[in-house]
């Protein structure tokens, strides 16, 4: 009988630190604090409707998860501040605590509309450097483009709880062992295949999409009978963290593109809390993440709650969608083909 020896998240981080002789351990302790918070949230989520009165669950869990992130990362001495999708302004690490060198940015519960129906949700986080540890943090300190992230990850609370993490040297997946209460390395070196036959988009927004997105989706829908010459599958979970996880596991493309639904919002996904950390993971796994027009991690944020169009996943599909955005309107596909489309533009 063979017994498989598995590496814990702690062991993995200690090993990774050996490549950075000047590392103080602050960074690792920050990631371990985040992992601990995710374990606590996993327990709350797993309690389902037992957690509170019916209907209250979703709202409560967003707020409860946020409190857990704040409490769990307040004391480590490794942070200068935090920014949360659930807070209007950055959270200051109180003066009495030692202030650290990093900033933590998070969406404490993503896909929370799925809570009441017992589908997968998750927490998304991003780590940035704090510009000056000596002073209080301001909103401006967090407005760094995604390329400046030093780490990013998410926890997914699904049939199994997993933590998927990158510190800038590949993407690694850890599964929470219910017996030991430890995240164990189960999915080292995740890699997104460059091609896919699966796409994910909220098709109810199709009338608000821009032409390049309509073109791409029409071509996927046309399958074998269209210019792509092969069939595609469509998925939509309404939990970006779950879509990202599927794509990291087996490829695919996710689109929440810029659209005309709400003039005040150029897209649905939040740049700092959702798009940048997922983009960091996707690109570390060999995929691509874009606004449709430029790599999403090159966007300089103007506000904490900034929204963005987002397309990510298998590299060849994302590049195709970018090409469609850069292609002149008169190069659009055969109108005969558009006739057959479910999503053709009204005439």
Ligand X SMILES: O=P(O)(O)OC[C@H]1O[C@](O)(COP(=O)(O)O)[C@@H](O)[C@@H]1O
Contact between 107 and Mg ion by CB under 5 A: the answer reads: yes
Question: Which member of 110, 141, 219, 243 binds Mg ion (CB under 5 A)?
Answer: 110
Cα–Cα distance for residue pair 100/97, rounded to 1 Å = 9
Tokens of 200: 């994910």
Check the annotation: does 339 bind a ligand. Answer: no
238 binds, among ligand X, Mg ion, none (CB under 5 to 8 A by kind): ligand X
Kindly state the smallest distance separating residue 192's Cβ from ligand X, in Å: 18
Residue 12 or 254 having the CB closest to ligand X: 254
78 binds, among ligand X, Mg ion, none (CB under 5 to 8 A by kind): none
Kindly state the smallest distance separating residue 140's Cβ from Mg ion, in Å: 23
Q: Which stretch binds Mg ion (CB under 5 A): 106-114, 125-133, 147-155, 161-169?
A: 106-114
Kindly state the smallest distance separating residue 121's Cβ from Mg ion, in Å: 9
163 binds, among ligand X, Mg ion, none (CB under 5 to 8 A by kind): none
Contact between 322 and Mg ion by CB under 5 A: the answer reads: no
Pairing mode, strands 102-110 and 91-92: unpaired
Closest among 127, 211, 123, 196 to 162, alpha carbons compared: 123
Check the annotation: does 111 bind a ligand. Answer: yes
Cα–Cα distance for residue pair 232/245, rounded to 1 Å = 19
Cα–Cα distance for residue pair 229/220, rounded to 1 Å = 9
Contacts by residues 183-189 (CB-CB < 8 Å, ≥ 24 positions apart): 183/8, 183/9, 183/35, 183/39, 184/6, 184/7, 184/8, 184/9, 185/6, 185/7, 185/8, 185/9, 185/12, 186/6, 186/162, 187/162, 187/249
- With CB under 5 A as the rule, give the number of residues binding Mg ion: 5
CA count, 13 A, side-chain hemisphere, 59: 4
Check the annotation: does 274 bind a ligand. Answer: yes
Kindly state the smallest distance separating residue 295's Cβ from ligand X, in Å: 20
Check the annotation: does 48 bind a ligand. Answer: no
* Annotated binding-site residue numbers for Mg(2+): 85, 107, 109-110, 274
Annotated binding-site positions: 85, 107, 109-113, 202, 274
């Amino acid at each position: 009988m063979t017994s498989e020896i598995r590496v814990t998240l702690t062991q993995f981080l200690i090993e990774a630190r050996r490549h950075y002789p000047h590392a103080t351990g602050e960074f690792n302790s920050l990631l371990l604090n985040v992992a601990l918070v995710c374990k606590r949230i996993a327990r709350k989520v797993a309690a389902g409707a037992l957690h509170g009165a019916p209907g209250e669950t979703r709202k409560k869990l967003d707020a409860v998860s946020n409190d857990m992130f704040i409490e769990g990362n307040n004391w480590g001495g490794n942070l200068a501040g935090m920014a949360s999708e659930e807070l209007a302004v950055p959270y200051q690490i109180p003066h009495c605590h030692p202030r650290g060198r990093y900033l933590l940015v998070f969406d404490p519960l993503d896909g929370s509309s799925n809570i009441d129906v017992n589908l997968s949700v998750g927490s998304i986080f991003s780590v940035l450097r704090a510009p000056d540890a000596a002073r209080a943090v301001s909103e401006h300190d967090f407005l760094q483009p995604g390329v400046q992230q030093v780490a990013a990850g998410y926890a997914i609370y699904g049939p199994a709880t997993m933590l998927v993490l990158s510190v800038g040297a590949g993407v690694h997946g850890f599964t929470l062992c219910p017996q030991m209460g430890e995240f164990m390395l189960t999915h080292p070196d995740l890699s997104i295949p460059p091609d896919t036959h699966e796409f994910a988009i909220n098709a109810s927004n199709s009338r608000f999409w821009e032409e390049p997105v309509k073109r791409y989706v029409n071509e996927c829908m046309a399958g074998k009978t269209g210019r792509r010459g092969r069939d595609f599958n469509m998925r939509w979970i309404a939990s970006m963290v779950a879509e990202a996880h599927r794509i990291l596991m087996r490829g695919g493309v996710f689109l929440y593109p810029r659209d005309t639904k709400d003039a005040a919002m150029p897209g649905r996904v939040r740049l700092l809390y959702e798009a940048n950390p997922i983009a960091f993971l996707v690109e570390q796994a060999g995929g691509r993440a874009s606004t449709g027009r430029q790599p999403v991690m090159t966007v300089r944020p103007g506000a904490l709650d900034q929204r963005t169009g987002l397309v990510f996943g298998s590299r060849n599909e994302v590049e195709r969608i970018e090409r469609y955005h850069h292609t002149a309107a008169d190069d659009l596909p055969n109108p005969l083909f558009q006739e057959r489309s479910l999503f053709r533009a009204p005439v």
